[in-house]
Amino acid sequence: MSLRDNPLGELKVPLTWGAAVALIVAAVVAIAFLVSDRRETFQSEAYGATRRASDTVLGPVGDVLSAPVRWTGAGVDTVRGYFFAVSENRRLKAELKEMRQWRDVAIALRDTNDRYRTLLGLRTDPPIPMVAARIVSDSRGPFANTRLANTGEEKGVKAGNPVMSENGLVGRVIGVTNGASRVLLLTDTASRTPVMIDRTNARAILSGDGGPNPRLDYLRGREPVKEGDRILTSGDGGVLPRGLPVGTAVKGLDGRWRVVLASDRTPIDFVRILLFEDFTQVLNQKQLDVMPVPPPTQGSQVVGLVPATPAAKIAPPAPTPGPAAPGTAAPAAATAPKPPPPKPATAKPGASKPVTPKPTASAASKPTSSAPTTATPPASARPRPPVEEAPH
């Protein structure tokens, strides 16, 4: 029996409807991917096995494809170096002369800093280890600004590590696999970087928007920034170390403060991945989250009501109170505001009040006054009666 003879043979779903159904199914799949995506988190597992696998494949592919560009660039540099050697030499000599002056200043500042640190007993940050990597692919669109570097977890790179070019901060690592790292640039819409203005020490958040110049958001203070101010990482939050160069401030066409990135001065081909880990990333969070349980109360530490007889046996005898006249007790307390000696609350509760008054302002100003009211401690400083702190 042929298909045409089949009674259902004429029942044909229009192809447009089939395409529409397929479109809806594909759109649902895309939305499901979109909803479950968490690319900007610091959790390495959130990056996903699929992303890692694709980076593993795309890293060497990008490396091969960008090889002619590197060779061409190296050839151009060689030719340029040959023809412009004299002018380059002249420029370098002038730069060296200026750098020597800066070197002397730097040595003097380092010496001063060392002395200050010694005086203050500062615990300085250890040097940050770093690994070099080459950028093999680059995305520059409005919705994603990332780069693929050809160094990965085999060199100890982790998600969150800052990435720098020779001029300044480029971004941070958001995904690592064997042989490749995905770098989220400062210009990406998902990028938020805590920065500070070097001149005023004002804080801001550097927010990418897909363009070449990210915005300075949440600026505080009156005129905290002006044109040409140097922007550095603030180190707030512990994700990035403090003081990495980011760029210079400029007023954007939209009237907002933006940053011309220092890393944009030259093409980013080689980068340094700082294997930086802040103490908040190193410490054991679970251990911190554990609430310490106080030890069982001992007899001498009990503050509340306890039977009088055993407490009297355990505790040392209370010192004999001084002269009963409060007027004589007040100057003594005013001139020597030491904490009272530990005393069992139950030994002689009645005697504790005149002996341990804390000096008030009036008592201190009138030490010779014999009025008993000057010796009365303020309500907050008065020893509480034991009944208020009954054991739970």
Partner 1 sequence: MSAVRSLEPWRWIGVPMVQLLGLTVLFAIPLRVFGLQLPEPVFPMAAAFAWAVIRPSVLAPFAVLLMGLFLDFFWGGPIGLWALCLLVAYGISLAGRTMMAGQSRAILWAWYGMVTGAAMLIGYLVVMLDAKSTPGLVPLAWQYLATIILYPFAHRLIEMFEDADVRFR
Contact residue for partner 1 among 44, 46, 56, 58 (CB under 8 A): 58
Using the rule CB under 8 A, is 62 a contact of partner 1? yes
Which of 259, 268, 329, 330 is the binder for partner 1 (CB under 8 A)? 268
- Using CB under 8 A, which of 6, 9, 30, 113 touches partner 1? 30
Parallel, antiparallel or unpaired: strands 169-177 and 162-164: antiparallel
Q: How far is the CB of 363 from partner 1 (least distance, A)?
A: 58
Residue 131, beta-bridge partner list: 273
Strands (E), the chain: 130-138, 146-149, 162-164, 169-177, 180-185, 192-197, 203-207, 215-217, 230-233, 245-251, 257-261, 270-274
Nearer to partner 1 by C-beta: 38 or 117?
38
Binding-site string for partner 1 from residue 248 to residue 267, where x marks contact by CB under 8 A and - marks none: -------------------x
Pick one of 42, 56, 155, 190: the residue that binds partner 1 (CB under 8 A).
Answer: 190
Instruction: Give the nearest distance from C-beta 189 to partner 1 in angstroms.
Output: 4
Which positions from 270 through 329 interact with partner 1, judged by CB under 8 A?
A: none
Tokens of 121: 């007993």
Q: Does 84 bind partner 1 (CB under 8 A)?
A: no
45 binds partner 1 (CB under 8 A): no
Q: Which amino acid is at 336?
A: A
Outline where 40-84 has alpha helix (H): 49-83
Whether the CA torsion 183, 186, 187, 190 is positive or negative: it is positive
Instruction: Give the one residue of 9, 18, 221, 385 binding partner 1; rule: CB under 8 A.
Output: 18
Element (H, E) at 310: helix 308-314
Residue 270: strand pairing partners: 134
Name the segment binding partner 1 (CB under 8 A); options: 100-108, 130-138, 231-239, 290-298: 130-138
- Rounded to an integer, what distance in angstroms lies between the CA atom of residue 178 and that of residue 353? 73
- Asked if 149 contacts 180 with a C-beta cutoff of 8 angstroms, the reply is yes
Q: Does residue 130 bind partner 1 (CB under 8 A)? A: no
Quick one: angle between helices 85-120 and 49-83, nearest 10?
Answer: 130
Residue 19 as a binder of partner 1 (CB under 8 A): the answer is yes
- Our CA dihedral for 180, 186, 188, 193, rounded to 10 degrees, sits at 110
The reply on whether position 20 binds partner 1 by CB under 8 A is yes
Strands 192-197 and 203-207: antiparallel
CA 145 to chain centre: 22
**Residues in 194-213 at the binding interface with partner 1, rule: CB under 8 A:** 207-212
**Tokens for 262?**
């220092």
Return the range that interacts with partner 1 (CB under 8 A); candidates 47-55, 95-103, 318-326, 373-381: 47-55
Residues 143-162 that bind partner 1 (CB under 8 A): 143-144, 146-148
Beta bridge partners of 193: 206
Of 140, 226, 242, 382, the one binding partner 1 (CB under 8 A) is 140
Q: CB 234 → partner 1: shortest distance, Å?
A: 19
Q: And the tokens for 23?
A: 């479109």
- Applying CB under 8 A, the residues found at the interface with partner 1 are 15-16, 18-23, 25-27, 29-37, 39-40, 48, 50-51, 54, 58, 61-62, 65-66, 69, 135-144, 146-148, 174-175, 182, 184, 189-190, 207-212, 267-269
